[in-house]
Structure 1
């Protein structure tokens, strides 16, 4: 509540939304998965349940209070404090050049178009061939101009964009957008 420009949700994501967002995480091999805006860790838990043994899970979180919470409550999670717009730099420092999935619950409508583009460009640059990006969007955000800007940037950055949901048992109800550059995403075309 003290940082309204860092938190975009009035409540944590539901387990149903978390599972849907994490559905892009490979469940075989030694996958590397990054979560943007891990917040309280609900989606982090869903990613962990899906991630195979030997996989690596990294979270990038801007809010200092949430970073402390994640480190205390989820010691197995690699938490990097910082802005998702610097994703490539952070991953390079962690010895990672490419990832298999990026899962996001960032508050896209709080970001101007330039910041949205910067983050999406970073995500696109680190995704391995066949990798997928997913992001949670509440239905309440959809009427806003910044959501329309985000959707246009998503379509301009990735080859395939899909939509999963809606999940009505979330406060507020939400969709999960998926995107990839080489393989079709599950769901209907956005």
Structure 2
């Protein structure tokens, strides 16, 4: 409905280190609502890679942010893209991807790519619109997130965003698992979430 707000961007980029030379990867930057905030935080430090599948957006971002390495490709290609850039593991992956609109296979392969490139102590952040959390695809993504990372913490709702949204903060990527094991873990995450909801009601 509208570009992501500055407040949502600030919540999303919280894991970007304030010192050192981190490797920060941005997925689905679109028109750059988060890109500019990341650049402000880095202040010329480290490396900022932005992966954008839309060639028009990618071209615009490269022109607006000359310090950002903009790659016109899909997010699932992240392991290859990072290897070709020779930056090693990512310290932070920030995602603006519309996870609830992605099919199951794309959700899984893209999230697996994120998990594979993150450093052991790395952080992954993404956001969800509040109104979309009831969608089956959004619930599926939340389960996949829980099966891919040992720690997943939802942030406070940013009511000033249009529409309102909140951020998922994920840390400690799990070792690479088979699809069957991921499905099992996702089911367990969903069962625990349902049990907690039942206890609260």
TM-score, scaled to structure 2: 0.83
Q: Which of the residues 11, 19, 24 maps onto 1:33?
A: 24
Equivalent residue number for residue 162 of structure 1: 153
Stretches of structure 2 lacking an aligned partner (at least 5 in a row): 174-192, 194-201
- Mapped to 2, the partners of 1:136 and 1:46 lie a distance apart of 16
Q: Higher mean Cα deviation, 143-152 or 92-101? A: 92-101
Q: Which of the residues 129, 135, 148 maps onto 2:126?
A: 135
Aligned to 1:42, the other structure's residue is in SS state coil
Pair 1:174-2:165 in alignment: yes
The CA deviation at 1:69 is: 1.2
Aligned to 1:97, the other structure's residue is in SS state coil
Equivalent residue number for residue 95 of structure 1: 86
Equivalent residue number for residue 57 of structure 1: 48
- Mapped to 1, the partners of 2:83 and 2:46 lie a distance apart of 17
The CA deviation at 1:53 is: 4.1
Stretches of structure 1 lacking an aligned partner (at least 5 in a row): 1-9, 183-189
CA root-mean-square deviation: 1.3
Q: Is the 8 A contact 1:166 1:175 kept in 2?
A: yes
Q: Is the 8 A contact 1:28 1:52 kept in 2?
A: no
- Mapped to 2, the partners of 1:94 and 1:149 lie a distance apart of 32
TM-score, scaled to structure 1: 0.88
Aligned to 2:155, the other structure's residue is in SS state strand
Q: Which structure has the larger Rg over C-alpha atoms?
A: 2
Runs of 4+ in 1 over 6 A off after TM superposition: none
Work out the number of aligned pairs and report it: 174
Q: Which of the residues 69, 81, 85 maps onto 1:78?
A: 69
The CA deviation at 1:54 is: 2.7
1:18-59 deviations in Å (ceiling 9; x for gaps): 011010111111101000000111101111122254311110
